[in-house]
Structure 1
Amino acid sequence: MFEAARIATAMINGCQICMNWQTKRDVSQMGIEKGVIDNGIAPDESFILKF
């Protein structure tokens, strides 16, 4: 749910960085180890491509 809301917000705001962001892939690069990435299964690439 988080990723869907995040993508929808990025689209509404027209933020290219946000639209290309994938939490599962990118958050660990920022040194973050806990948070929304622990809230269940992350969507796969096919989910993201639907947007």
Structure 2
Amino acid sequence: PGTHQSLHWGFDDPAADETDSAMLTFRHVRDQIADTIRTWLATGQSPTH
């Protein structure tokens, strides 16, 4: 019922990083997701990567 908006934001898969810097990769993707959501909420526009 009702209308909805479906969004897809592609992010790198941090679990694919098997190097010693994997934790940094997880944090980077986490920050990208947070920034994307903040931008979307503030502007109503779906950001692109």
Structure possessing the higher radius of gyration over alpha carbons: 2
TM-score, normalising length: structure 2:
0.29
What is the TM-score of this pair, normalised by structure 1?
0.28
